[in-house]
Amino acid sequence: MVQQVSTGTIQDQNDLVEALRSGLDGQVLTADHAEYDEARTPFFPVKIGKPVAVERPKHADDVARVVDAARRTGLPLIVRSGAHHAAAHSTGDGLLIDLRSLNNLDIDVAGQTAWVGAGLTAREVAWALAPHGLAVGFGDTGSVGIGGLTLGGGIGFLSRLHGMTIDNVLAAEIVTADGRVHTIDHEQEPDLFWAIRGGGGNYGVVTKFRYRLARVPQVYGGTLILPATPATIARLAQVCAEADDALTVIPTVMPAPPMPFIPAEIQGQMVIMAVVCYAGDSGQAEEALRPLREIATPVMDLVQPMPYAALMDEELPFRGHPMAIRNMFLDHIDESVGATILEGLDRSDSWLPLVHFRVLGGAISRVAPDATAYAHRKSPIMVFVARPLEDDELAARQWTEELATALYQGYNGAYVNFLGPHDGDRIEAAYPGETLARLRRVKASYDPTNLFRNNDNIRPA
Ligand SMILES: Cc1cc2nc3c(=O)[nH]c(=O)nc-3n(C[C@H](O)[C@H](O)[C@H](O)COP(=O)(O)OP(=O)(O)OC[C@H]3O[C@@H](n4cnc5c(N)ncnc54)[C@H](O)[C@@H]3O)c2cc1C
């Protein structure tokens, strides 16, 4: 039974904080606490809110008490997992639930499933599963929170082989706007279960996910840096499209960034920084990787056998630099698209302009577009154009939009997890047609007053 915080007599925020402190098993931090600033600061600090309090729940009932308090007081409710969303939805001025305290992991090794606390990061989960030779596919970066990543879809190194993250969610525990705790799956509240697989944080606070685990004892992975020309970009896209589902390459065309493993003489050169993951039979790995290595003489080749989790350890130097970002789906990347990418990058005077693309297909495309709230199953390539906002915000926005327009191939789609700070009007692109209509109907059933709105917001029907 959820014990509710009595906010009816609360006169001011101090009373509210005291009520939360006495009602919660977890911590409640205010501005005088040493960890308050870290908790309210997103990975991309395009804004930093001043929450009345940061709550660190111990369990779903704690979350329910904060949800009740927000509903009764009218204070905005902010939900934070890994704080990586580019629009900084993880910060704000109301009650901020910091889910990182929900970090339990309960692995059923024989059954190849796990209940995973929604406050963990991709890296933490990957390393916890590594000793068992098991994995859940999240994204390409270890510090991303599994909360936001899973709710938006989750596309990463294992998606072509084992499906998107949402395709491996078997059940979830969620606290809805009325403060109720539900356990949902394909049979129990299937509409809500459908909506949280792609519909983001619009439906409640997910406190844990149950994932199907894949057997991934070892991968051939690491960074492969190739020279960037229209021909190498086009050939890379072709190799990725023709590859076995076990091979995924996540390339970014950019000036080689200042990272310790990149020699100083290469830093700043326009390259394709490709992170490679081959998760198939190790006996076939060299053969599977050969077409990649034949695209051009690599500038650097660090691809080697490693635990899948080790791929989560490397990070590009984005933290702390808010980005202008524009994402979409393409049909093809040929030499003319490669030339457009390079011309666009050449036109930018930023220190970190980039064009990132992913060849999708495989298991992603074998799921029906209406089976989850991620509807772009048939789109073969996802791309985003980005550059830091800090050097010149207006120039960054203009450059990003111009290059995205030059790359546009007629499909007005967007991947919700890569929406940025200027994408408030792109919800129809993220959720085309009937997907948005259904999401709005489910929203009306579970959150008719739009309590969960600090996100890529789906308004109730
Ligand atoms: C460096 C970097 C690399 C990335 N790589 C990939 C990638 O390879 N593949 C990919 O698919 N995405 C990738 N992303 C995008 C990432 O999936 C999204 O930014 C995602 O929203 C991050 O989740 P989070 O929990 O870290 O962020 P947060 O900012 O904490 O949360 C994002 C949104 O989800 C909500 N939310 C989070 N957890 C919950 C929860 N448990 N219940 C309810 N609502 C919740 C928040 O309120 C917020 O609206 C990357 C992002 C970055 C910055």
Q: Does residue 5 surpass a pLDDT of 70?
A: no
- The predicted pLDDT at position 218 comes to 95
Mean of per-residue pLDDT scores for the chain: 95
Q: Which atom of ligand 1 is nearest to the CA of 418?
A: 15
* Residues 71-81, mean pLDDT to the nearest whole number: 97
CA distances from 42 to 34, 81, 84, 360 (A): 16, 10, 6, 28
Distance 424 CA to ligand 1 centre (A): 16
As a whole number of Å, the CA-based R_g of the chain is 22
pLDDT tens digits, one per residue of 268-287: 999 999 999 999 999 999 99
Angle at which helices 285-293 and 230-242 pack, to 10 degrees? 160
Q: What is the dihedral of CA 239, 245, 247, 253, to 10 degrees?
A: 50
Residue 45: pLDDT over 90:
yes
Closest-lying ligand 1 atom to the alpha carbon of residue 88: 29
Which of 44, 77, 149 has most ligand 1 atoms within 8 Å of CB, for mutation? 149
Pairwise CA distance, residues 424 & 427, whole Å = 7
The C-alpha torsion from 445 through 446 and 452 to 453, rounded to 10°, is: -10
What is the structure's pLDDT at 6?
A: 43
Give the Cα separation of 359 and 244 in Å (integer): 12
- DSSP-based helix, strand, coil % in the chain, nearest 5: 35, 25, 45
Q: Residues near ligand 1 with C-beta < 6 Å?
A: 43, 79-85, 89-90, 99, 118, 139-141, 144-145, 147-149, 151-156, 200-201, 205-206, 318, 417-418, 454-455
Residue 4, pLDDT score? 43
Inter-CA distances, 372 with 192, 245, 369, 429, Å: 11, 21, 7, 16
pLDDT of residue 72 exceeding 70: yes
pLDDT at 3: 39
Q: What is the pLDDT of residue 349?
A: 87
Confidence class for position 315, pLDDT limits 50, 70, 90: confident
- Which atom of ligand 1 sits closest to the CA of residue 119? 41
**CA-to-CA distance for 456 and 439, rounded, in angstroms?**
12
Residue 126 has pLDDT above 50, yes or no: yes
Distance (Å) from CA 200 to ligand 1 centroid = 9
CA-nearest residue, atom 32 of ligand 1: 148
Would you say residue 201 has pLDDT above 50? yes
- Using alpha carbons, select from 213, 191, 36 the residue that is nearest to residue 115: 213
What's the pLDDT tens digit per position in 403-438? Answer: 999 999 999 999 999 999 999 999 999 999 999 999
pLDDT tens per residue across span 229-250: 999 999 999 999 999 999 999 9
Is 230:241 a contact under the CB 8 Å cutoff? no
Residue 9's pLDDT is 43
The CA-to-CA distance between both ends of the chain, in Å, stands at 30
By alpha-carbon position, which residue is closest to atom 49 of ligand 1?
455
Two structure tokens written together for 49: 């809110």
- In this structure, the residue with its CA closest to atom 19 of ligand 1 is 85
pLDDT of res. 318: 83
| CA of 175 relative to ligand 1 center, distance in Å | 18
Q: What is the pLDDT of residues 318-337, one digit of tens each?
A: 889 999 999 999 999 999 99
What spacing in Å lies between the alpha carbon of 283 and ligand 1's midpoint?
A: 35
User: What pLDDT is recorded for position 11?
Assistant: 59
Give tens-digit pLDDT for 131-153.
999 999 999 999 999 999 999 99
